[in-house]
Chains A and B, each alone.
Chain A
Amino acid sequence: MRNRKIIVSIIICILLTLSISGCWNRRELNTFSILMGMGIDKAEEVGKVQLTAQIINVSELKQGGSSNKEAYLAVRSTGDTVFDALRNFTKESNRKIYLPHNKVLILGEDIATEGVQKYIDFFVRDHEMRLRESVLVAKGKAEEILNVKSELEKIPAAGISSLLKSQNATSEATDVDMKDFISRLMSKTTAPIAPLIEISGEEEKKVLRISGMAIFKQDKWVGELEGSKARGILWVIDKIESGIIVVDCPNEEGKMSLEIIRASSKITPELKGDKVSIKVEIKEEGHIGDQECPCELKSHDISSIEKMKTTVIRAEVISALEKARELNTDIFGFGDSVHQKYPKQWKDIESSWDEVFPEIEVEIVVDAKVRRSGILIMPASS
């Protein structure tokens, strides 16, 4: 009797586990096609969405391209909503599109300026998504971006993905995945950023180029930062991986490039009465990458290089800050840091953050160090 109860309860437990699994549905690998890149644009028909999907042609990928066919298929579909358009793919494609391995989600210029919220909702809500795809904003139509062939990669979307990864060599743009993007969008104050992608070059020699970072206000694209100004954002939000800072040689003519090896930053808010002030501490360490002037560097030279480097970093941060103030959008997450430190007072500030943000006093403390001079102590010719 007791035994039977135990057996019954075990079986009930096993059956219950069936109901808690999210994806009971089995499907074989050859029943769907793997999506590598997705572009969202406005359709020509008013009020409709156009999706451009880049899906893998697995059998072409298999034998290292024995035939001249492409390793991917570009398909296009329109619908009233994103999900609707996605399902409409099945009208032309015999396999359902499998989203979780998507690498890039490119937002067309028109929808980015209109507001992306209603277009990306599906990509966050769907239970299959991994939120790992990179979010990019296209200058122009997303479809055109996806149609530019990559020189080195078989699949354009994979090319875009690795192009983004390589941006950390300069740190003038950073890869923003869906999780980052959406968590910034969810915050009441922090504004999303995303790398900007554009086509450069003429007809046959079209190449893709990451031109900077797009700045959003809530879900609308309002402005952009390029080059070292974009790096100004990354200094503050601690996304600097590597990069080159060019300074003048101390004492002599010529320039030096300093490689960034390590960088970290810390945002400390302070609330005095109603006044918010922010202290941004940036710590940077680097090496001397090359040196044009043929002189031996003394230790006081090194400290003057460090000072110059500090100035450059500070200038980059200030230029980004000015842009943010101008657009009145909190791309640095200052609001969230205040919220974390002063949760009680935050309620009063929150509603008026738009007025508070441009007036915030920001103190920038940069601590830049030169650690090594490569494996040369002095230039070869000196």
Chain B
Amino acid sequence: MFNFLSKKLRSWQQQNQNINKENKENDNSKKTKENSQAKLSSNLKENLDSIKAILGVCEDLIIREFAFGNKGQISAAIIFIDGMVDRTLINDNIIKPLMYDNRFICEEESLEIKNIDIIKGTILYVGEIEKSTTINDLVESCLSGDTILLIEKAKEALVISSRGWETRGVVDPETETIVRGPREGFTENLRTNTTLLRRKIKSPDFMLEAMKIGRKTNTAISIAYLKGVANPEVIEEAKRRLKRIDTDGILESGYIEGFIEDAPLSIFSTIGNSEKPDTVAGKILEGRVAVLVDGTPFVLTFPMVFIEGFQSAEDYYSRPYYASLVRVIRFIAFAISILAPSSYVAATTFHQELIPTPLLFTVAASSEGTPFPAVVEVLAMGVIFEILREAGIRLPRPVGQAISIVGALVIGESAVSAGLIGGIVVIVIALTAVASFVVPAQTDSGAILRVILVILAGSMGGVGIMVGLIGILIHLASLRSFGTPYLSPLAPLSPFDLKDVFFRVPIWAMLTRPKSIVRQNIQRQKFILKPTPPPEKKDKGGSK
């Protein structure tokens, strides 16, 4: 069997290599094409024709030809994509200065303004202007919302930044709601998102590096980190992995995650994501690297460790005692969410002697007369729960309520009263369902683990659960996220980092950044910051 598997794997690998080769060839051909690309000519009409030839007859492409100068002797054109530009900016800051202001100048000056540098330097009231010479560059920037200014007899064109389109405002993030803390969330706009981060970390060390990925989508992404804190090797590795991506489109940060994660075949995610600028800023300050992707509010952060799922931004905003209690509760809830159904199955079908006698009566009474074995009951209820959950997410909101009523009443109540399933099973599954949402980062992996453990418990009882748990533990211990062991700081143990695992020590005691992630600049604050009463003044009468 193993021979067969390894052969299969090898043949896949070979195929992959072949595909890679083909891709490379494609790349090469693309590059040669680019190289052979004609530069701009000095003829305006020719230039316009070649741009039209590339962009075709797109209905949203707008080419505005006009003339300026005191006698209107200089013909020019601006090209932009409708809807991706700020129209008032084009009208007031590009066309108006050229056409209106230039009418009153004298003839000599009028000759001078043919010079593209003078237009760039003295006439246009726009913040960001670049010069470009190849048609391909022009097309690319036009497609990302820039405006192109072409002038007769100039071999260069101006790329004027005029991006402006409808975006969603900065609103409450829906996936991570909190009681105390900032309420803003990332949006779909990359620039807004980097701004939200920049507003939190106003330091020259906060670096944002741009990159474009996606042959067709040309998605802008941004790598954010804190220079001097983030591990340079992680940054390098991240860039290497990102550059490797050669695909036609990136629609969401999940695509990027899939391409750069360490354990692509694992059910555990080795890259974190968040919708909240404060969470991401916190992770960047801890020395992590963030990747922002245009078009999605979900920002990736790595290296990610297992316990990160149990930490919430609010832990650091509320007082340490309650935060620590909640931490512990999250761990308990996670244990319940993956172990409760399997423990129920194991106890009722293998280890009845473990159940206290009065409880055994209750359990036995509820399962009396039910047609299915416990393991089938639990699996079926688990599947029904997942169906309800999925339906609840996908349904239009007004219909959602009906589903929850039908789900809760029909499936919960009637199934028990009809004697299809035992009442205890419903309780176990309901508890599991509630507990599984306490740790959002592990909700999806938890659902899979749950099913595996129930099957193991149904076939081998407690031994099966132990085998499953040991397997999960071995797997977790083998994972790495950008060089950081997934189970750190627990395994390998770094005692100082335990300050933020099962309990959260007061902020003034959080002296260091996590050692497993940061290699330099470990100390994050001064040593003695514990609030103390002011020192008593020695001479009471004296003022200064």
Contact = CB atoms under 8 A, between A and B. Distances in A.
A62 interface: yes
A4 B353 contact: no
B543 to A, nearest CB: 61
A376 interface: no
B144 interface: no
Interface in B362-377: 363-370, 373-374
B349 interface: yes
A30 B349 contact: no
A25 B346 CA distance: 11
Contact of A101 (B353, B369, B463): B353
Interface in A38-75: 56, 58-59, 61-62
Given A29-B348, A61-B361, A21 B353 contact: no
B367 A29 contact: yes
A115 interface: no
B361 to A, nearest CB: 6
A377 interface: no
A103 interface: yes
Contact of A26 (B367, B458, B466): B458
A100 B353 contact: yes
B206 interface: no
A59 B365 contact: yes
A59 B370 CA distance: 12
A128 B353 contact: yes
A34 interface: yes
Interface string A120-156: 0000000010100000000000000000000000000
B349 A4 contact: no
B361 A34 contact: yes
Nearest to A15: B467
A18 B466 CA distance: 11
Contacts of B461: 21, 23-24, 26
A8 interface: yes
A8 B365 contact: no
Contacts of A375: none
Nearest to A36: B357
Contacts of B32: none
A381 interface: no
A353 interface: no
Interface size class of A (residues with CB under 8 A): 20 to 34
B460 interface: yes
B26 interface: no
Contacts of B353: 100-101, 128, 130
Contacts of A24: 460-461, 463
A180 B329 CA distance: 40
B350 A26 contact: yes
Given A28-B373, A34-B364, A59-B368, A4 B350 contact: no
B361 A21 contact: no
A27 B467 contact: no
B463 A100 contact: no
B474 to A, nearest CB: 8
A56 B361 contact: yes
Interface of B is mostly: helix
Contacts of B351: 23
A56 B365 CA distance: 10
Nearest to A27: B349
A7 B364 contact: no
Given A8-B2, A103-B357, A17 B467 contact: yes
Contact of A59 (B2, B369, B374, B463): B369
A21 B461 CA distance: 9
Contact of B364 (A25, A29, A100): A29
Contacts of A62: 365-366, 368
B6 interface: yes
A101 B373 CA distance: 21
Contact of B365 (A18, A58, A128, A130): A58
B266 interface: no
A380 interface: no
Nearest to A14: B467
B360 A101 contact: yes
Contacts of A23: 350-351, 461
Nearest to B347: A29
A29 B361 contact: no
B370 A30 contact: yes
B20 interface: no
A103 B352 CA distance: 15
A98 interface: yes
B6 A29 contact: no
Interface in B1-26: 2, 6
Nearest to A103: B357
Contacts of A20: 463
Nearest to B468: A14
Nearest to B6: A4
Contacts of A14: 467, 471
A311 to B, nearest CB: 43
Nearest to B367: A29
A150 B471 CA distance: 50
A30 B369 contact: yes
Highest count of chain A CB atoms <10 Å: which of B6, B352, B369, B373: B352
Contact of A21 (B367, B373, B463): B463
Contacts of B462: 21
A50 B349 CA distance: 30
A21 B466 CA distance: 11
B463 A17 contact: yes
Interface in A310-330: none
B463 to A, nearest CB: 4
A21 B348 CA distance: 17
Nearest to A130: B353
Given A26-B461, A58-B361, A4 B2 contact: yes
A28 B367 CA distance: 9
Interface in A90-107: 98, 100-101, 103
Contacts of A103: 357
Nearest to A11: B2
Given A8-B2, A28-B367, A100 B361 contact: no
Contacts of B364: 29-30, 34, 56, 58
Interface in B249-298: none
Interface string B445-479: 00000000000001111110011000100000000
Contacts of A28: 348-349, 367, 373-374
Contacts of A34: 357, 360-361, 364
Nearest to B377: A28
B489 to A, nearest CB: 27
Given A4-B6, A23-B351, A23-B461, A30 B368 contact: yes
B340 to A, nearest CB: 17
Interface in B302-356: 348-353
Nearest to B365: A62
Nearest to A101: B357
A100 B351 CA distance: 10
Contacts of A56: 361, 364
B56 to A, nearest CB: 52
Contacts of A98: 352
A17 B456 CA distance: 13
Contacts of A59: 365, 368-369
A29 B353 CA distance: 11
Nearest to B355: A101
B389 to A, nearest CB: 28
Given A100-B352, A101-B357, A29 B463 contact: no
Given A23-B461, A28-B374, A61-B361, A101 B352 contact: yes
7 contacts: A8-B2, A26-B349, A29-B352, A30-B369, A62-B365, A101-B360, A130-B353
Interface of B: 2, 6, 348-353, 357, 360-361, 363-370, 373-374, 458-463, 466-467, 471
Given A7-B2, A26-B350, A30-B367, 10 more contacts: A14-B467, A17-B463, A28-B349, A28-B373, A29-B352, A58-B364, A59-B368, A62-B365, A101-B352, A101-B357
Nearest 3 interchain pairs by C-beta: A100-B353, A62-B365, A21-B463
